[in-house]
């Protein structure tokens, strides 16, 4: 008898919905090239780097006799970066496509991400293994990793191992950095005459891997609905207890898509959007005033409670903080050894403050002690501040309390301010995928197989028309290089896939901006409730509100 939960067992039996085209035998699915897609930036530089990949057309899959007869193939797959709900269904869709094309086909999973390809750590993925992971969260079927394939030795080993396994294709499931790596691998394989297609799949809960062709990355739907449920629970608790302001920091390293979606889902009193703060060049004190105005106005109504949503990467978008962080990074890059030798955090803080430009030093000294300490402690492998570990919610609480105390001393604020802080991140990365993500990921995996079958190397799987029922989705692929530009990273110009930030002139942000002044005073929160897997499609299958608004 299985010790899994009833829901776990029920999800194994779920049959993902797919584009109508995919109901046909593989031999009756046709690849149709469409328009040539070029990158929006740095065309000439990218053309020189990607001589074998540049200038290729988009492709869509339609009903019709295919040009390539299904054949036995060997495909490798790896999961790269942080987990996102639905990754196992990408593998399931890829596996089922392979076996539908030919029962003799093989799927090899490289363990621990790109490092597994370089070090040749792998498992054979079988029907029994796939069946034990269908429609479930996590990346534990083969594991993931954050190794970047970037040295000549790593590229050589990756190619040698792919050839040793007689791979026809390699599927890379990941975010912007991982798919940048996929593009470079495709170019390297082609430049060495290796007939191995490299295909990407768009994964990230942050939602920042998107464009006209990639309408959303997988995992975003599930993660945001998981967070929105928890926020909704807090939204119900706040007016029940009537004594706390809840400051909730949400995962999303660079872009604020998660914060925006959760705001649309729950209607908090304040939701900060990093991209707007950077665009308006808002200072920390201006951000605090935004929160304080809602706190004071609600206190005047006797409502000493509320909800504030804060994107994880906010602090790096505040101009003065961005300058401070860059100054600290630059300082410690040149004086790392002296800094490490200091005996205490207080000594480290004094070391930094004494060497910063005057304005940055004043800001650094004004920060709460635990925040300035976090700026000292947490460094990434390149020596930079790990912004995602800075507890911005606690910084804002401290500054709001100070400002409210000043207003109370003036007699203009007579409320009571107490608070709770929260960080929501890992709770959403491995959740059971929503029906939308289960369907979407399965179709992405099947699409990756078709791209491999037709030899479309350097492409990323694309499913369009996602706001419609799954049967009406339009599967295909676009060249990875079309999503890239050149950025200066770690002292060198490098080709990278551009992160898609919240568009301030886009429809989702406009929908939020039109309502937020009302939400600031209101206790009419939206309570989305738990993710539903069984019931009417209007409850179980709806995609994110951002996607619905964008495609309306």
Active site residues: 206
DSSP notation for 492-524: EEEEEEPP-PPPTTSHHHHHHHTTHHHHHH---
- Residue 80: name the closest of 167, 196, 201, 166 by CA: 201
Q: Are 187 and 53 spatial neighbours (Cβ–Cβ below 8 Å)? A: yes
Closest CA to 205 of 138, 132, 263, 111: 138
Instruction: Please state, in angstroms and rounded to a whole number, the distance separating the CA atoms of residues 363 and 373.
Output: 13
* Rg of the chain taking only CA atoms, in angstroms: 25
Residue of 214, 259, 208 whose CA lies nearest to 425: 259
CA angle 389, 226, 97 (to 5 degrees): 105
Cα–Cα distance measured from residue 396 to residue 52, given in angstroms and rounded to the nearest whole number:
50
Residue in this structure with the two tokens 């930036």, named with its chain if needed:
41
Backbone region of residue 214 per phi and psi (left: phi > 0; alpha: psi in -120 to 50; beta: other values):
beta
**Among candidate residues 84, 144, 51, 93, the one with its CA nearest the CA of residue 470:** 93
Distance in Å from the first CA to the final CA of the chain: 47
Segment (H or E) for 95: helix 87-101
- Residue 218's DSSP bridge partners are 203
Report the alpha-carbon distance of residue 552 to residue 547 in Å, rounded.
Answer: 8
**H-only helix segments in 204-273:** 220-241, 257-266
Contacts 24+ apart (CB under 8 A), 407-413: 407/292, 407/296, 412/296, 413/296, 413/299
Instruction: State the Cα–Cα distance between residues 10 and 160, nearest whole angstrom.
Output: 42
| 160 vs 44: CA distance, rounded Å | 31
Contacts with 514 (C-beta within 8 Å, 6 or more apart), sequence order: none
Decide if 348 contacts 342 (C-beta within 8 A).
Answer: yes
């Amino acid at each position: 008898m299985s010790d899994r939960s009833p829901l776990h067992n029920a999800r194994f039996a779920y049959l993902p919905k797919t584009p109508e085209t995919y109901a046909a035998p593989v031999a009756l699915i046709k690849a149709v090239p469409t328009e040539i897609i070029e990158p929006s930036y740095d065309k000439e530089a990218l053309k020189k780097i990607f001589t074998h990949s540049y200038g290729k057309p988009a492709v869509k899959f339609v009903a019709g006799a295919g040009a390539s007869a299904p054949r036995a193939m060997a495909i490798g797959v790896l999961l790269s970066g942080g987990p996102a709900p639905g990754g196992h269904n990408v593998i399931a869709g890829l596996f089922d496509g392979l076996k539908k094309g030919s029962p003799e086909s093989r799927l090899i999973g490289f363990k621990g991400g790109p490092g597994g390809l370089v070090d040749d750590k792998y498992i054979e993925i079988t029907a029994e293994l796939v069946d034990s992971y269908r429609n479930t969260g996590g990346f534990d079927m083969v594991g993931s990793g954050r190794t970047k394939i970037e040295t000549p030795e790593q590229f050589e080993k990756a190619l040698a191992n792919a050839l040793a396994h007689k791979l026809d294709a390699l599927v890379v499931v990941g975010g912007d950095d991982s798919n940048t790596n996929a593009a470079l691998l495709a170019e390297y394989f082609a430049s060495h005459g290796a007939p191995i297609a490299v295909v990407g799949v768009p994964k990230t809960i942050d939602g920042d891997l998107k464009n006209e062709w990639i309408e959303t990355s997988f995992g975003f739907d599930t993660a945001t609905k998981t967070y929105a449920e928890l926020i909704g629970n807090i939204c119900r608790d706040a007016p029940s207890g009537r004594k706390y302001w809840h400051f909730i920091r949400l995962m999303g390293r660079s872009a604020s898509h998660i914060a925006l979606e959760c705001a649309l889902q729950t209607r908090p009193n304040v939701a900060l959007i990093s991209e707007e703060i950077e665009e308006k060049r808002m200072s920390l004190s201006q951000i605090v005033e935004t929160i304080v105005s809602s706190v004071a106005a609600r206190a005047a109504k006797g409502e000493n409670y509320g909800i504030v949503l804060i994107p994880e990467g906010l602090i790096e978008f505040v101009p003065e903080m961005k300058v401070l962080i860059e100054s600290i990074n630059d300082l410690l890059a040149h004086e790392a050894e002296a800094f490490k030798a200091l005996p205490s955090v207080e000594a480290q803080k004094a070391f930094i403050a004494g060497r910063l430009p005057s304005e940055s030093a004043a800001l650094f000294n004004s920060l709460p002690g635990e925040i300035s300490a976090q700026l000292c402690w947490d460094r990434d492998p390149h020596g930079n501040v790990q912004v995602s570990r800075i507890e911005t919610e606690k910084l804002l609480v401290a500054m709001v309390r100070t400002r409210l105390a000043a207003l109370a001393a003036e007699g203009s604020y007579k409320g009571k301010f107490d608070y709770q802080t929260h960080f929501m991140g890992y709770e959403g990365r491995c959740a059971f995928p929503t029906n939308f993500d289960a369907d979407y990921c399965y179709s992405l995996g099947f699409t990756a197989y078709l791209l491999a079958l037709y030899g479309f190397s350097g492409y990323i799987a694309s499913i369009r028309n996602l706001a419609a029922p799954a049967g009406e989705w339009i599967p295909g692929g676009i060249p990875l290089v079309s999503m890239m530009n050149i950025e200066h990273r770690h002292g060198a110009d490098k080709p990278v896939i551009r992160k898609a930030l919240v568009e301030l002139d886009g429809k989702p942000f406009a929908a939020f901006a039109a309502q937020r002044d009302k939400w600031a005073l209101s206790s009419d929160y939206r309570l989305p409730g738990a993710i539903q897997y069984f019931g009417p499609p209007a409850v179980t299958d709806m995609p994110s509100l951002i996607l619905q608004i964008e495609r309306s």
